Amino acid sequence: MSGRTMIRNKAIARAFKEAGLIESFGTGIRKMRSLCEMSGTAVPEIKEDGIYFIVTFSRKAENDSVASVAENVKGMTGTESRVYAIICEGSLTTAKEMSAASGVSEKSVRRIIDSLIRKELIQRIGSDRSGKWIRK
């Protein structure tokens, strides 16, 4: 893409803006790329042919040892396993970052963190602002 804002349907753009679904025009691709880089995944590939565009995301390869630890914990759901694996990797510390990396909503990430604390699988080191989650 050429790096400029091009509104294809002004009526839809205006409706989305008024509904609060658009923060500002021209920030979406930049924000998407930034979130991918933050989560350690490849930057999405964007193809445009003038009529439409295709955005292709790549999945982050899981660390086998971390994935196997998550699989060995009894009673853990699939989404809990994903968030637990992210915590074990130690690179992402906020619910927002974990949400982007796992494909789970921030609210669900917080609920999963509470569940993992109750199961005594994780603990918080440091303050709420500068701390991080670690495996017990």
**Can you give the residue ranges of every domain in the chain?**
10-56, 64-135
Distances (CA, A) of 1 to 46, 72, 89: 7, 44, 33
Chain segment 32-68, per-residue pLDDT in tens = 887 777 777 788 888 887 777 788 887 765 554 455 5
Taking 50 as the pLDDT cut, the residues of the chain under it are 1-2, 64-65
How far apart CA 39 and CA 58 sit, in angstroms, is 12
What's the CATH number of domain 64-135, 1.25.40.10, 1.10.10.10, 2.40.30.110, 3.40.50.9100? 1.10.10.10
